[in-house]
Structure 1
Amino acid sequence: MSGPDAGGGSAGARSGAPGRAVLLRTLRGQRRDVALGSALGAAHQAGEALVPVLIGVVIDQAVAEGDAGALLLWLAVLAVVYVGLSFSFRFGARAGERAAEQGAHTLRVELVRRVLDPGGGAENGRLPGALASIATEDAKRVGAVAMALMIGISALTGLLVGAVVLLRISVPLGLMVLIGTPVLLWLGHLLSKPLERRSEAEQERAAHASGVATDLVAGLRVLKGIGAESAAVARYRRTSRDSLVATLRAARAEALQSGMVLALTGCFIAVVALVGGRLAVQGDISLGQLVSAVGLALFLLGPLEVFSFVNADLAQGRASAARIAGVLAAPPEVTSGGARLPRPVRGAVRLRGVGHGGLREVDLDVAPGEMLGVAATDPADAAALLRCLGRQADPEAGMVELDGVPLRELDPADIRMAVLVAGHDADLFEGTLHDNVGPGATAPGGDGSGRIARAMAAAGADEIVRALPLGGETPVSEHGRSLSGGQRQRVALARALAADRPVLVVHDPTTAVDAVTEARVAAGVREFRRGRTTILVTTSPALLAVTDRVVLLHDGRVADTAPHAELVRRQAAYRTAVLA
């Protein structure tokens, strides 16, 4: 039920360099759309800056002179400028949104690829919900940096065009803008630092709350069964409160940053307008130039306000990029070796002096084609054995071999194609019942009438098909919650059997089915896997009875090895674990 703290992997994620590398890589990947959007956005802002200039020209050359022809000409010029503004904004925004969405999508694919890497390791210290939050919200925020960059370049262009025009109107006005703008940008950057820190804390807490919620929902039936609903609610309430406090702190930091930047910007624009008015009164600039100067001052308010939002987006993007970098840079649980498995895989499994978790000096030989039962008196020992057999982790001592080749010398992806470890808590996915068993389950004359159909019959899943209104096409909800526990177990077992790996390791596949169905499943698995190596890690007497022999793991060691009936007769620990 409980998982590791979602923030456990954040220490490494706080390093700025990996986060900047993620940001830069995302921007480089979308450089074409970013460049196009920036160019069109810059053209739009330049046109916006020229609008008050054209209005000033209309006043000086048409209105003041009473020239109707000139008035119509400049009004036509204004119309053309506005048409250009409309199209440049439309297509520039489209390019920016495309860059943001494509960048976020690329990051999500990269994160999913890392999480699903056969070497593992990305999930260490993170709940599943936290990983989902990183792959969605954080990826979205990093992708939004592309749009923020485009908007920032556009705003900067507008400021530069406005400054140049103001320099032509009046040198003091132009210098004021050129000097004041960098100062405002620097102050905005300083004000964004607290926001970046608090945004990272907010994202960490939100991800942890999401992870805890996912963990609790996944174990809802267990919680109800043991009467732990109140404890679960209290746990989530504490986590959610921490997330709320972090979110409010980040919101206050963002409000303070935006408010301070806006106040500084307003003061700056007021000073520009005041200086321009004094110059007009003194006759240094014309009436049209005064109108242009005031219009430009008002226009500059927009680009300067934009910088506060851009700074906020960049701060949040940097924090999210650091979290993404932490997942991508997580060291693998197991590394790839240079050895290759012999073809075909015979299925000989050997453990020599294996020590891992609670396991101590475990020696075990499984012959090709043997069906071996493993009964562990401690569930933790069974879990440790499964991790070693599937190479989810390398043993702390000793080695595991497949056909004489140590697993640590093999590529984890190659091992997955030869050895399938079907865990007790295997999940089902959204789709139909047949989709969850395997591709081709409904193909006429193909796997549907062959291996997959036999796998479903061996696992007792054919009864589920007959019982459901739509048969194998019955939709299955997320995690298989629309099915009962026993139905989920049988479908998951059918999927494991249908994969038809040379070595199959199954952990407690029938804990939620009745005794009659369990006996049928045991016989079905025995027949289906005849001639291929199968290891049943279970305490079910029905399953252990159909194995060739059973290994008793007691106190982390191999205590005895014999057929099921013999172990029942001579081992009290075995009777307690299997028959109690």
Structure 2
Amino acid sequence: MPSLRSLPFPDPGVPDVRSGFRFLLWLEVRQWRGQLAAAAWGTLHMGAVASFPVAVGMAVQAVVDRSGHRLALAGALMLVLAVLTALGDTMLHRTAVTNWIAAAARVQQLLARKTVELGSVLTRRVAAGEVVAVSTGDVEKIGWFVEALARFTSALVATIGVAVALLVYQPALGVLVAAAVPVLAVAVLPLLPAATGRADLQREKAGRATELAADTVAGLRVLRGIGGEELFLDRYRKASQQVRTAAVHSARMWALISAVQVVLPGLLLVGVAWYGARLALDGRISVGELVTVYGAVAFLMFPLQNFEEIAMAWSFSRPSAKRAARVLALSRPGAVPVMTGAAAELAAEGELYDPVTGLRAPAGLFTAVVCGDPDAAGLLADRLGGHSPDAVEGEASALLGGQALDALPLAAARAAVLVQDKDPVLLSGTLAELLDVPSSGAVTPADALAAAQCGDVLDALVQSLAGPDADSGDPMRARITERGRSLSGGQRQRLALARSLVADHEVLVLDEPTSAVDAHTEARIAAGLKEIRAGRTTVVLSSSPLVLDRADLVVFVDDGTATATGRHHDLLREHPRYRAVVTRETDGPDDTAAPHPAPAVLSMEESA
């Protein structure tokens, strides 16, 4: 049985993700010791509670018979049962909660491992709202089912035990109870499909509302710029109302199920009391036996509540497990399973080659890549990193030193190539924490910040210092807000570049790393990037002449194929299509004329 001190697990295991049911079954099997312990304590608890009517019946009959000795025995039995009830209930709660937390932690570890494996590709294969739903609410619902199953097992054992005991103890009433219990247990089954359907609809609408809210918050500055806040807020209000309506419909069905679980056992209790009273008046049973049977039937209402709970837990956890299994089933095409424990293989070194486009980036050089189709640049960057989201079975992978990146162990591929996309994310925390990434140690944070031209960013961060940190004047203590929202686009971009430079990978792939800075800063970044990455393989996807002019080699990719390779000025002079893309001119019949000079000014620093 896992203890909370053992979390997180050294290895959460390899889940069965063929279906949601198989995933839940795998979780149950992985925690069989904890489940068995919880079921045992639950059985002790319910057995003790179920035995109380026996002690009460003995006490009542002792009073009727005026037997002080039997009354004392009944009192002693009640005391023992009270101790066993407290012990069973306490340990059941302890083990059940441990099972819940352990199951949730295992699922969260599996999701975290999958997120690390897929990286930014994850949200391109699965909607962001679904990822949020799986990692938060779904994890809790899955843990709930794992925890509730043990208590349902003990409730089932207790129910069967009480029914059998009543048959033996008082057959006349036991037959009535034994016949009614199965009916009570399955009475809610016809209502479950409708309840499950309504619950699924509620979760679907809630996921949609969550996704819409995340999109609205992420694009709030842009929405304010175009005056679109009210439009999106109105859409969210409508989505929220749909969630509320679906939740009310779902709650009504579960309220009906709860009512059935109360009314039917109540009718049984009334029937047993009436029939037992008739038997007692006829002298066929004693008053103590009637009290015992009545108490045992009243007890059955307690375990029957667990029948309702397991139905609800299954209804809510089944789609949650299905979503979790769908996310966990994602993988890198042709990838070796994630390595755990042992050290990863040494990464390949050498030329970076993309068989899809024919792009070659020689080892140790600064290679710039110009794409005729801007949308293709991001896909090319992903492919060069070995985790293309649109890769299909049999499609050629990018090669590093002749080795396919997506066939390398994950740790080896990640150690070999670092890809920074055009919209990098800054995590919240201090600047020191932002730059505290696994690295070779050859590039210091100060050198990386200087190469990325972050001087004005550091000045702004110093101004933002508050409290005791304000007196230090150390920008490394300044806090970066979530996703760097307090910084401009250019500042975020340069800090992300500094983080990538600190990592100092053998191969660095940058997708438009200077698109949000002004021309003068861009020129200094290009120079600093070439200097600090000397001897390392660097691939920059950009059409900026200021970056292209610094590159050792420029590759032009047009219509999905590397059509030209050379120095920037040579390609301007000799390749009309390249010149048209770089200078933003319209490709026409006069493109063979004398080359036009490259523009000196590109985009200005973003304020958003």
Label 1:132 to 1:292 Cα distance change in 2 as closer, same or farther (>3 A): same
Match of 1:175 in 2: 175
2:434 counterpart (421, 433, 436):
436
1:476 counterpart (456, 476, 480):
480
Match of 1:45 in 2: 46
Task: Please tell me the residue identity of whatever aligns with 1:253.
Answer: M
Match of 2:423 in 1: 425
Map 1:445-524 onto structure 2 (within 5 A): 447=441, 451-461=444-454, 463-467=456-460, 468=462, 469=465, 470-524=474-528
Map 1:149-188 onto structure 2 (within 5 A): 149-188=149-188
Determine whether 1:574 maps to 2:549: no
Match of 2:399 in 1: 401
Q: Distance in 2 between the 1:380 and 1:313 partners? A: 45
Percent identity, please. 34
Label 1:44 to 1:485 Cα distance change in 2 as closer, same or farther (>3 A): same
Q: Distance in 1 between the 2:55 and 2:255 partners? A: 36
Superposed displacement of residue 517, structure 1:
2.8
Label 1:125 to 1:246 Cα distance change in 2 as closer, same or farther (>3 A): farther
Determine whether 1:531 maps to 2:535: yes
Label 1:540 to 1:237 Cα distance change in 2 as closer, same or farther (>3 A): farther
Match of 1:370 in 2: 365
| Structure 2 unaligned spans of 5+ | 1-15, 338-343, 466-473, 586-597, 603-608
Select between 46-55 and 507-516 the one with higher mean Cα deviation: 507-516
Superposed displacement of residue 421, structure 1:
1.2
Task: Please tell me the residue identity of whatever aligns with 1:307.
Answer: F
Match of 2:352 in 1: 349
Match of 1:540 in 2: 544
3-state SS of the aligned residue for 2:358?
strand
Equivalent residue pairs, number = 550
Superposed displacement of residue 57, structure 1:
0.5
Conserved? CA contact 2:386–2:397, under 8 Å: no
Conserved? CA contact 2:378–2:421, under 8 Å: no
Superposed displacement of residue 331, structure 1:
5.1
Match of 1:278 in 2: 278
3-state SS of the aligned residue for 2:486?
coil
3-state SS of the aligned residue for 2:187?
helix
Q: Distance in 2 between the 1:386 and 1:148 partners? A: 46
Superposed displacement of residue 98, structure 1:
0.7
Task: Please tell me the residue identity of whatever aligns with 2:354.
Answer: L
Match of 1:12 in 2: none
Superposed displacement of residue 535, structure 1:
1.2
Conserved? CA contact 1:350–1:401, under 8 Å: yes
Q: Distance in 2 between the 1:460 and 1:260 partners? A: 70
Q: Distance in 1 between the 2:226 and 2:507 partners? A: 36
3-state SS of the aligned residue for 1:576?
coil
Label 1:540 to 1:239 Cα distance change in 2 as closer, same or farther (>3 A): farther
Match of 2:387 in 1: 392
Map 1:189-204 onto structure 2 (within 5 A): 189-204=189-204
Conserved? CA contact 1:188–1:257, under 8 Å: yes
Conserved? CA contact 2:452–2:494, under 8 Å: yes
Match of 2:55 in 1: 54
Conserved? CA contact 1:342–1:403, under 8 Å: no
Q: Distance in 2 between the 1:253 and 1:16 partners? A: 30
Select between 87-96 and 110-119 the one with higher mean Cα deviation: 110-119
Map 1:30-429 onto structure 2 (within 5 A): 30-61=31-62, 63-118=63-118, 123=123, 125-330=125-330, 332-336=332-336, 345-352=348-355, 354=356, 362-393=357-388, 394=391, 400-407=398-405, 409-429=407-427
3-state SS of the aligned residue for 1:117?
helix
Superposed displacement of residue 342, structure 1:
11
Label 1:548 to 1:16 Cα distance change in 2 as closer, same or farther (>3 A): closer
User: Could you list the per-position Cα deviations for residues 482-513 of structure 1 after superposition, in whole angstroms to 9, with x for gaps in the alignment?
Assistant: 33322221111011111111211111222333
Select between 84-93 and 164-173 the one with higher mean Cα deviation: 164-173
Q: Distance in 2 between the 1:543 and 1:299 partners? A: 79
User: Could you list the per-position Cα deviations for residues 387-414 of structure 1 after superposition, in whole angstroms to 9, with x for gaps in the alignment?
Assistant: 2211222489766332233445544543
User: Could you list the per-position Cα deviations for residues 133-186 of structure 1 after superposition, in whole angstroms to 9, with x for gaps in the alignment?
Assistant: 112211211111132122222322332343244224421311222222122222
Superposed displacement of residue 423, structure 1:
0.6
TM-score, scaled to structure 2: 0.82
Label 1:232 to 1:278 Cα distance change in 2 as closer, same or farther (>3 A): same
Conserved? CA contact 2:47–2:158, under 8 Å: yes
Conserved? CA contact 1:547–1:563, under 8 Å: yes
Task: Please tell me the residue identity of whatever aligns with 1:370.
Answer: L
Match of 1:4 in 2: none
Q: Distance in 1 between the 2:228 and 2:424 partners? A: 23
Match of 2:341 in 1: none
Q: Distance in 2 between the 1:140 and 1:36 partners? A: 21
User: Could you list the per-position Cα deviations for residues 58-114 of structure 1 after superposition, in whole angstroms to 9, with x for gaps in the alignment?
Assistant: 1112x1233445434422331232122112111111111110111111011112212
Superposed displacement of residue 566, structure 1:
4.7
Superposed displacement of residue 365, structure 1:
2.7
Task: Please tell me the residue identity of whatever aligns with 2:369.
Answer: V
Q: Distance in 2 between the 1:450 and 1:504 partners? A: 14
Match of 1:11 in 2: none
Q: Distance in 2 between the 1:74 and 1:336 partners? A: 67
Conserved? CA contact 2:490–2:517, under 8 Å: yes
3-state SS of the aligned residue for 1:427?
coil
Task: Please tell me the residue identity of whatever aligns with 1:155.
Answer: A
| Structure 1 unaligned spans of 5+ | 1-14, 355-361
Q: Distance in 2 between the 1:255 and 1:428 partners? A: 46
Q: Distance in 1 between the 2:396 and 2:584 partners? A: 29
Conserved? CA contact 2:452–2:497, under 8 Å: yes
Q: Distance in 1 between the 2:200 and 2:154 partners? A: 27
Task: Please tell me the residue identity of whatever aligns with 1:129.
Answer: G
Q: Distance in 1 between the 2:289 and 2:397 partners? A: 84
Select between 197-206 and 135-144 the one with higher mean Cα deviation: 197-206
Label 1:572 to 1:17 Cα distance change in 2 as closer, same or farther (>3 A): closer
Superposed displacement of residue 123, structure 1:
4.3
Superposed displacement of residue 324, structure 1:
1.7
Task: Please tell me the residue identity of whatever aligns with 1:321.
Answer: A
Match of 2:593 in 1: none
TM-score, scaled to structure 1: 0.86
Q: Distance in 2 between the 1:140 and 1:150 partners? A: 16
Conserved? CA contact 2:347–2:416, under 8 Å: no
3-state SS of the aligned residue for 2:543?
coil
Match of 1:19 in 2: 20
3-state SS of the aligned residue for 1:392?
coil
Conserved? CA contact 1:522–1:546, under 8 Å: yes
Q: Distance in 2 between the 1:244 and 1:183 partners? A: 34
What RMSD, in angstroms, separates the aligned Cα atoms of the two structures? 3.1
Superposed displacement of residue 321, structure 1:
1.7
Q: Distance in 2 between the 1:114 and 1:181 partners? A: 45
Conserved? CA contact 2:428–2:479, under 8 Å: yes
Superposed displacement of residue 545, structure 1:
2.5
Q: Distance in 2 between the 1:258 and 1:183 partners? A: 15
3-state SS of the aligned residue for 2:540?
strand
Conserved? CA contact 2:417–2:509, under 8 Å: yes
Superposed displacement of residue 118, structure 1:
4.3
Conserved? CA contact 1:349–1:365, under 8 Å: yes
Conserved? CA contact 1:52–1:291, under 8 Å: yes
Label 1:51 to 1:201 Cα distance change in 2 as closer, same or farther (>3 A): same
User: Could you list the per-position Cα deviations for residues 366-403 of structure 1 after superposition, in whole angstroms to 9, with x for gaps in the alignment?
Assistant: 22222122233432021222122112224897663322
Superposed displacement of residue 309, structure 1:
2.2
